[in-house]
Structure 1
């Protein structure tokens, strides 16, 4: 495996760009830009794409649209309602995607000291500017070190109880599919950041993330490879979700805490 994602000085390179967006998604991205500007007007400071589309790895009909919006103030109920309508409209009008997710934050929070190695890193390294002035210009350069590992995914230990509640409340195949996808993605990404400082590189590719993890935890390698497969092709099997909730999730949370510590509550 080739290590990638860092420049010659060992800092993260921004992983996406508008130039990497595949032609199949060009009309969608143009509509997202125009509709976001119209929906939020002067409330909007800047907008960003993240995920597979700006990385150039989107799969028509299967990938989702991921947007992060930075507002001039902290989002209110009206802002969240606007995001729901905006996302639903894009999903309905463009069969090229399977869902649209929109994250909302006030720009002051994104630039705050407490979010410097969490949301700030996410915006500066994993988000591609779509509208407005890029907030990354006000953020530092980042390295794949233990501090970043703790602040990005050091809260996993607090998640399993909520995961269990969601699992026990589910009953339909569609619900298990959503849970299998969401839990698997989170576990694979957390498994990768657990070993990221030792590996000394960065990748957002889930399959590669699982393979990198497996180098350091061979006893859990098969589980993580299987989780990466489910993250890309979710399943409706409740036993798969149960294994995340009762086995892989708690183990990974304990190992992560032991190696990197726990992120302070937000």
Structure 2
């Protein structure tokens, strides 16, 4: 195992620039042709809906990375408002998401995150939402907030502030599992929790691996170099992140075994995320 870890540490790392900072992933030029009409409709819909209150909008996920699959991938957006979003804003954006999902069969769901400009640029969010915007989001509309954010390295501070809150999430997941009685609801929950656990496993080892990737399978392999005894569990979760099942046993294993183990190890290695008020 030691030789494997040392070899992994010496290998050239993806996702970093010449200074060792995480490069921004995705671009509008990488959007697959089939998804371009959805992106245009989402852009126009947000402009009509929010008008001058909209500061900026971004794409993230497989669509701007160019890896989206027709009929299988969702469209993910993040919107920054000039003021704090109200419940009416969230309701209106959810309605727009649902309308786009129904209108365009090439996407399997549309989801929009809604925040204020001030929150995204706050000190508390610099190494969480701020990093997310600067490194994982592709500008679609308005002024790019990345201009006001630092460069990021794959260090323990970033690891802690991005995924150091699994202890808070596990009780919520248990509630959602109890409520997910329909097969489709369980599949969506398996997809979401699988992806989250793989990303948490990856950021656990990210400072030692010294690189960045959004590819679930590559994340699982990076984790495997340092935790071979848990490797197959994370590889299986990576596969389920792409091809989810509705098996309730998978969800239970996440909240009873893999999740608690990851939470304890993450806390031991990186500590816990700075608390939020919400």
Give the TM-score range, shorter chain. over 0.9
Stretches of structure 1 that go unaligned for 5 or more consecutive residues are: none
Partner of 2:150: 140
Match of 1:46 among 56, 64, 74: 56
Alignment of 1:249-264 (within 5 A): 249-264=259-274
Match of 1:31 among 41, 47, 58: 41
Partner of 1:111: 121
TM-score scaled by structure 2?
0.94
After TM superposition, give the deviation of residue 146 of structure 1 in Å. 0.3
**1:117 and 1:7 mapped to 2: Cα distance?**
18
Partner of 1:206: 216
Question: Deviation string for 1:137-171 (max 9, x for gaps)?
Answer: 00010000000000000111221111112212322
Match of 1:57 among 57, 67, 80: 67
**1:264 and 1:139 mapped to 2: Cα distance?**
19
Partner of 2:184: 174
Stretches of structure 2 that go unaligned for 5 or more consecutive residues are: 1-10
Stretches of 4+ aligned residues off by more than 4 angstroms = none
Question: Deviation string for 1:171-224 (max 9, x for gaps)?
Answer: 221121111111101000100000000000000001111111111100000000
Secondary structure (helix, strand or coil) at the match of 2:124 reads helix
**1:95 and 1:174 mapped to 2: Cα distance?**
17
Question: Deviation string for 1:71-116 (max 9, x for gaps)?
Answer: 0011101110111111011101111100001000000000011100
RMSD between aligned residues: 1.0
After TM superposition, give the deviation of residue 3 of structure 1 in Å. 2.6
Partner of 2:137: 127
**1:265 and 1:194 mapped to 2: Cα distance?**
19
Match of 1:17 among 27, 43, 52: 27
Question: Would you say how many aligned residue pairs link Structure 1 and Structure 2?
Answer: 266
1:157–1:257 CA contact under 8 A, matched in 2: no
